[in-house]
Chains A and B, each alone.
Chain A
Amino acid sequence: MKAHLTRRYLFSASHRLHSEEMSAEENQSTYGKCNNPFGHGHNYILGVTVSGPVDERTGMVCNLVDLDGFIGREVLARYDHENLNTLKEFAQTVPTTENLCTTIYEIVKRGFRHAHLERVRLEETMMNSFEYAGETETIQIT
């Protein structure tokens, strides 16, 4: 029987929303306070949902040790307590939570082999969150 398993992780990072393609005024009007040149930070809440048949021998969709190990190595070690703007994936891309959400989705999709990735959810603050489930579905902002 197929079940969906969601695991929640926390990390903290800083970013500045600024596009080289926009004028100073346009950056200011688009990103507002988030355009502050010194940056600011968030406690992000990451939700990773995987699915698959429940293994009859273990009762599990996938072993949490494998999922925690992968997310710890490939996502948390990469982003926790970092300035997102200094990372190479955000050299040309604005580190909005939309872009961070799809980037994390691609990391997990490419590298995690123990279960099927359903979606990635990223909460930037208690007031906003983003979900990405791959190309066929669009980002949902709630």
Chain B
Amino acid sequence: MVYLTRKAEFSASHYYHNPDFTPEENRRVFGKCNNPNGHGHNYTLEVTVKGEVDPRSGFVVDLKQLKEIMHREVLDAMDHRFLNKEVPDFLHRIPTTENIAIAAWQRLATKLDKAQLHRVRVYETPDLFVDFYGEA
């Protein structure tokens, strides 16, 4: 089994707000991130797949294909978007780094054929990242 990681970057804006909370609760729990006009980040998406090395190609997965799938499924939807308003995944989920990693996983998991998705890592800043392994 070999693990392979491909990286991509996208920029998006978001804010944190739960309509079930009172305005005070929203401010207390989410702080500055509650500003309804949103703010943005340069996100880094790292997708790790695992699989056996194909003896003919020497590849776990065709990197060009993986790159295309990441762009089609994740970046085309999220890059330069206001996540709360433009990405259906976040209509009823707050676009935290945790939920972005989960959404990226859900968008990618069924689209890979040869290799298996192992981990999705999303950096919000160099000092904060979330890993999702598909655990329930």
Pair from one complex: yes
A7 at the interface (CB under 8 A from B): yes
Q: A2-B135, A59-B93, A65-B31 given as contacts; is B98 within 8 A of A54 (CB)?
A: yes
The answer on a CB contact under 8 Å between A4 and B130 is: yes
The answer on a CB contact under 8 Å between A8 and B132 is: no
Q: A1-B136, A65-B31 given as contacts; is B94 within 8 A of A58 (CB)?
A: yes
- In chain A, residues 2-21, which have Cβ atoms closer than 8 Å to a Cβ of chain B? 2-9
B88 at the interface (CB under 8 A from A): no
Residue in chain B with minimal CB distance to A118: B131
- In chain B, residues 92-112, which have Cβ atoms closer than 8 Å to a Cβ of chain A? 93-99, 101-102
Least distance between B79 CB and chain A CB atoms (Å): 20
The answer on a CB contact under 8 Å between A59 and B20 is: no
Contact with A along B8-32 (1 / 0, CB 8 A): 0000000010101100000001110
Binds A, one of B37-45, B51-59, B64-72, B121-129: B121-129
A64 at the interface (CB under 8 A from B): yes
Q: Which residues of B contact A61 (CB under 8 A)?
A: 98, 130
Q: Which residues of B contact A8 (CB under 8 A)?
A: 126-128
Residue in chain A with minimal CB distance to B129: A6
Q: Which residues of B contact A58 (CB under 8 A)?
A: 16, 18, 29-30, 94, 96
Q: Which residues of B contact A2 (CB under 8 A)?
A: 133, 135-136
The answer on a CB contact under 8 Å between A5 and B31 is: no
A73 at the interface (CB under 8 A from B): no
The answer on a CB contact under 8 Å between B98 and A60 is: yes
B21, B95, B135: which contacts A1 (Cβ < 8 A)?
B135
The answer on a CB contact under 8 Å between A1 and B128 is: no
In the bound complex, how far is the Cα of B134 from the Cα of A2, in angstroms? 8
B29, B130, B131, B135: which contacts A63 (Cβ < 8 A)?
B29
Q: Which residues of A contact B136 (CB under 8 A)?
A: 1-2
Residue in chain B with minimal CB distance to A67: B128
The answer on a CB contact under 8 Å between B131 and A4 is: yes
Of the A-B pairs whose beta carbons lie under 8 Å apart in the complex, a sample of 8, sorted by A's number, is: A3-B101, A3-B102, A3-B132, A5-B131, A9-B127, A59-B93, A59-B99, A60-B96
| B interface residues, Cβ below 8 angstroms from A | 16, 18, 20-21, 29-31, 93-99, 101-102, 126-133, 135-136
| A interface residues, Cβ below 8 angstroms from B | 1-9, 54, 57-61, 63-65
